[in-house]
Amino acid sequence: MLQNYSIIQKLRLHTILLCLSFILFGSKIKAQVNFDYFSVNKLTQDDGLSQGSNYFRFEDSRGFIWITGNDAVNRYDGSSVKVYNLKHYFKNCTTLQQGYGFTEDNNYLYIGSTRGLYQYNYKKDEFTLIDVFRHSRTKTAIPIGFSHGKIWCFNEDWQLASLDVKTAKVTLEVQIPLPPIRSVHIYDNQGNVFYWRMPFIDRNSNIFFTGKENAMFYNIPKHKINFPLQNFPIFKNVTFASCAYDKENGNVIFGTLSNGIIILKNQYQKVENFYPNDDNISNVAVGKDRIIYRTERKGTFLLDKNFRKMKTLNKGFERTFSFGFDKMGRLWLCDDGQGQVILDFKGTLLKKSSDVDNEKIKNTSVFGTNNFADLTDGNVLIQGLIFNPNNYTTTNLLGKYSSCSAYSDHKKNQLWILNLLKDDTVEISLMDQNRKMLKKFNVSLKKIGDLKHFQTFDNNYPMISSTEGLFWLNTDSGNLEKMTSIKSNSPFYINKISNSRIIISDLGGDAVLAQMKPQGKVEFLQNVLPKVKSFYFQEDKDNGQIWAGTNEGIFLMNKNFKVLKKFDSNNGLAGTYIYGLIIDDFGKIWCSHQHGLSSIDTKNYSIINFDKDDGIQHWDFNNRGFYKTEDGNLFFGGVNGFNFFKPPLKLNTFYKPEIYFDEIKINNIRWKADKGVNQLSEINLNNKGNNISIKALIKDLENGKRQRLMYRFANIDSRWRPIMHKSPLVLSSLSSGKYELEFGIYNKFDQKITIQKKLLLNIKKAFYQTFWFWALLGGWVIGIAFFIFTRWKLLKQKNYYRQQLALEEQRNKITADLHDDIGATLSSLQINSAVASLYLQKNNLAETQSILDKIQQQSQKLSENIGDIVWSLRPNQDALMTLSTRIRNVANEILVNTSINYHIAIDDQIDDEITDFGIRKNIILIVKEALNNAAKYSEANEVLIQFKIIDQDYLLEICDNGIGFNPQKKKGNGLENMKKRTSEMNGKFEISTENGTCVKIHIHKSRDCK
């Protein structure tokens, strides 16, 4: 028929047919709205909400959801809640408690209140208060929306006002003809809860108002009020309880008190009525493809927009109100007093049985799930329930529900059913692909013990493992035949691998590799993984490898069963006691364990761990509860039901994850920035600002809890480190310098980190850490050193000159001594010699002898004086020349021929410290004088000589126990000489004569003794 048309006509016809098919297909898809599978999450006070009862909720354009409470406004980013209840968030205004309504423009968020309109600055993270109705009886300002450059608000008197966002000019636009609202408080509105009939701005720039008995809209460009319901008789005597606006279709949906749901369509020119018998529809909300409404008596209902499919939400939703859909289509409800309930119709990444709204499937969580088998029609048999994973429906396999185990034989298109009867008998049934009974066998558990596993083979009878061993089920005779060729203590799981081989795991010993032979024979080949408790084995035929699940983790072996690699908690595997093991169609090994679910890439061995944020049914899974269907779906059973999904898994996100800085503290003080802390790229700090707290968060309303925040110092260390969820990054006692902080989001599926945020920290050096400080300090030290050196050199020169002067003085003293003592003695000797010569000439021998004796005494004294002078001039270079030795020699010379016993005590340091020859000479002369007096006049028999160091003085004591004398009556040259010599040493002379005679000489150390 088409051959008679031209090419252009044919193309046009094909185009028309294609468009019609798309329309029909699209309407069919649209009608197939899912109501039977959705995940349920909650946002409660445990997650940070300030209160569990919330009447207003708003999703802004920046990726936040705002929620009001009676005490504060809350902001949710997908993983954390921020409560605005502190004064520093409010500039020159009181804190916002109960908020009423939200809207936003391009820069700010607006929240209504009884004090006025609160304006939130995203950059500065702070609120200000705008007095919109300053000349009205009430300050209440409730925002409706943003249009024509203005924020539109109303109050209890239904006065409509606009706020120009550029000029901040407030204009009172019009009085809406509706009865005043008694109170905006939920407990004081006499049943007129305007919250559920909030005004809105439609896509034609109309502000739509719904009262209890009437509805109208104000056209913004024309400044005119219209009443669209007057032309429809259905609205006569109707009481409106709620309303919602369908942005996609431009329809207004009314929930009425006794007339069901009424929809105003086609730019308010057409009306449709649904469920007219439903009464008091107190809440209604509309999303992209769903409608939800609540009646006071019948409960809460989900609908598609065509009103062809309905779902009742009763259990767990009895107290819900304040419905709303977010931008990705999730349904948000307030569970009164508990917080927010979120229904996600896409479900979790890993689908789970508890999200299926089917009581039979939910019952699998009562005792857990550990058996699966797929059927030829694509359905899956789960412990007696036939489950359709596409539409989530179930039917009973045996007419009525009976928990049983099933095993599929895909080669023969047969199904084996094992059903435990009450008398400890297992009923084993064989069915064909249409589930028609073929054979039935009864096996007593008393004979085989607890049944562990059932395995089918292409060319052999089925094999059963139990606590009593391995058995063949002879399908011809119906008898059990125990296998004797394989010795096994407690066989557990029968794993089939290539080349007609099996690996039998054993709870009481090593796993066994065996070869299947014709006629039901099995040949032992070897033990596998000796001394390791292994359970499950999977063969990777493409890579020629064997994977084993054990109680120590996962083992990778080559085809000869040599261990190549081990996976456990040391290299990232979340759990080590393996409950199930499957290899999918995309080269990944999946394993269930005691801490969730994990996958291992068989090429690069990367590990991905799945947790509750990904949708695992529970942390703990069940042994033998794993299965892979013919079409590649994976099932894992656990203590709370089961998970089912089809690899490869991809994290498809509606929202783009974004890192933002919520707060930065320096030394525990909030850091303020003109453009806001989130806009910061660099912070300059002094050396004391080295304790930094950065609250970096990920904004992702869909997968925020799944995202992982990482950071690193790019200029110091390339290693990434995690930041704990909701915890700030705390950097304490940072050294001076530059720190290039980078923040990234870790995607565990591609195991890459996406860098999103950078922050440069410049911590200045302290003044004592700068180059100029050290240059100045170095110059100062060098200057001081130079000063000290020159000073030392000057002092050295002064000391040298002083020593020279002292030497000169000592020479003068020696000269004077020589002149006075020796000169006088020599002169006396000369005179006495002349006198002796005269007496000798006169032959006067007696006088001559007397003169000669005197000459002898004078010569001896002269010799001693010369010896003392010479000794005092010589340094203490040996023990014979020391001061102490000289004192001892003098004492011995003077007292040796007397009856006086003497004792000498001299400190050892004195010899080293007193080196001045003038002092040495004076000390010796004083000692001689004192000892001579003691020998001649004291009549003593004991003399004590002590020379000590006391503090800063030298003390010389010469004491005897003689008769003493009166120093006032007896004066001579001896005492005067001792006083004179003491004075020359700048010392102090003392003499005591009461109990013998005691001479004390104090010589100050401060005197230059050297």
Query: Percentage of the chain surpassing pLDDT 90?
Result: 64
For the residues 711-723, what does the mean pLDDT come to?
Answer: 95
Write out pLDDT tens, residues 543-589.
999 999 999 999 999 999 999 999 999 999 999 999 999 999 999 99
Instruction: Report pLDDT for 157.
Output: 96
Residue 522: pLDDT above 90? yes
Instruction: Report pLDDT for 190.
Output: 58
Question: Sign of the CA dihedral 188, 192, 197, 200?
Answer: negative
DSSP 208-269: EEE-SS-EEEEETTTTEEE-TTTT-GGGTT--EEEEEEETTTTEEEEEESSS-EEEEETTTT
Of residues 509 and 827, more confidently modeled: 509
Angle, CA of 816, 818 and 821, to the nearest 5°: 95
Write out pLDDT tens, residues 130-146.
999 999 999 999 999 99
Token pair recorded at residue 835: 């006198």
Residue 780: pLDDT above 70? yes
Pairing type for strands 380-382 and 658-666 reads unpaired
Write out pLDDT tens, residues 308-325.
889 998 788 988 999 999
Residue 534: pLDDT above 90? yes
Q: Identify the three-state secondary structure at position 779.
A: helix
Instruction: Kindly give, in sequence order, each residue whose CB lies less than 8 Å from that of residue 757, ignoring residues fewer than 6 positions away.
Output: 659, 660, 661, 696, 742, 743, 744
d(CA 945, CA 970): 23
Instruction: Provide the 8-state DSSP code for 356.
Output: B
| Domain covering 658-769 in this structure, CATH number | 2.60.40.10
598 contacts 574 by C-beta, under 8 angstroms: yes
Angle, CA of 269, 271 and 276, to the nearest 5°: 170
Q: Which residue has 């059927």 as its token pair?
A: 375
771-817 and 917-937 helices cross at what angle (nearest 10)?
A: 40
Residue ranges of E strands in 165-238: 170-175, 200-201, 206-210, 215-219, 224-226
d(CA 101, CA 99): 6
Instruction: Report pLDDT for 908.
Output: 87
d(CA 529, CA 526): 10
Write out pLDDT tens, residues 659-716.
999 999 999 999 999 899 999 999 999 999 999 999 999 999 999 999 999 999 999 9
- Provide the residue count of the chain: 1010
Pairing type for strands 563-567 and 553-558 reads antiparallel
Write out pLDDT tens, residues 607-630.
999 999 999 999 999 999 999 999
Instruction: Report pLDDT for 407.
Output: 94
Superfamily of domain 882-1010: Histidine kinase-like ATPase, C-terminal domain (3.30.565.10)
Angle, CA of 254, 258 and 264, to the nearest 5°: 25
Pairing type for strands 511-517 and 501-506 reads antiparallel
| For the chain, counts of helices (H) and of strands (E) | 11, 70
900 contacts 941 by C-beta, under 8 angstroms: yes
**What string of H, E and C letters represents the secondary structure of 357-412?**
CCHHHHCHHHHCCCCCEECCCCCEEECCEEECCCCCCEEECCCCCCCCEEEEECCC
Instruction: Provide the 8-state DSSP code for 820.
Output: I
Q: Identify the three-state secondary structure at position 388.
A: coil
Query: Percentage of the chain surpassing pLDDT 70?
Result: 90
729 contacts 720 by C-beta, under 8 angstroms: no
Residue 819: pLDDT above 60? no
Q: pLDDT grade, residue 818 (50/70/90)? A: low
Instruction: Report pLDDT for 970.
Output: 61
463 contacts 494 by C-beta, under 8 angstroms: yes
Token pair recorded at residue 78: 């997908």
Instruction: Report pLDDT for 820.
Output: 58
Selection from 992, 935, 940 nearest residue 961 by Cα: 940
Instruction: Report pLDDT for 529.
Output: 97
Q: pLDDT grade, residue 2 (50/70/90)? A: very low
Token pair recorded at residue 926: 């004083």
d(CA 49, CA 247): 29
CATH 2.130.10.10-classified regions of the chain:
56-185, 192-348
Instruction: Report pLDDT for 304.
Output: 93
Q: pLDDT grade, residue 28 (50/70/90)? A: very low
Instruction: Report pLDDT for 897.
Output: 83
| Cis peptide preceding 233, ω within 30 of 0 | no
CATH architecture of 56-185: 7 Propeller (2.130)
Token pair recorded at residue 947: 């020379």
Given phi > 0 = left and psi -120 to 50 = alpha, else beta, which region is 106?
alpha
Most confident of the ranges 111-125, 425-439, 514-528, 878-892: 111-125
For the residues 774-780, what does the mean pLDDT come to?
Answer: 88
559 contacts 546 by C-beta, under 8 angstroms: yes
Instruction: Report pLDDT for 822.
Output: 66
d(CA 163, CA 670): 32
Write out pLDDT tens, residues 898-946.
889 999 999 988 888 888 878 888 898 899 888 888 888 888 999 999 9
917-937 and 973-984 helices cross at what angle (nearest 10)?
A: 160
What average pLDDT does the chain have?
89
Instruction: Report pLDDT for 735.
Output: 92
Superfamily of domain 192-348: YVTN repeat-like/Quinoprotein amine dehydrogenase (2.130.10.10)
Residue 7: pLDDT above 60? no
d(CA 551, CA 566): 12
Write out pLDDT tens, residues 199-230.
999 999 999 999 999 999 999 999 999 999 99
Pairing type for strands 942-950 and 901-906 reads parallel
Rg (CA), the chain: 56
**HSE-CB for 545 with a 13 A CA cutoff:** 18
Write out pLDDT tens, residues 365-422.
888 899 999 998 999 999 889 999 998 999 888 665 567 899 999 889 999 999 988 8
Pairing type for strands 682-685 and 752-763 reads parallel
Instruction: Report pLDDT for 131.
Output: 97
Residue 744: pLDDT above 80? yes
**HSE-CB for 981 with a 13 A CA cutoff:** 22
Instruction: Report pLDDT for 811.
Output: 65
d(CA 373, CA 416): 9
For the residues 516-541, what does the mean pLDDT come to?
Answer: 94
588 contacts 601 by C-beta, under 8 angstroms: yes
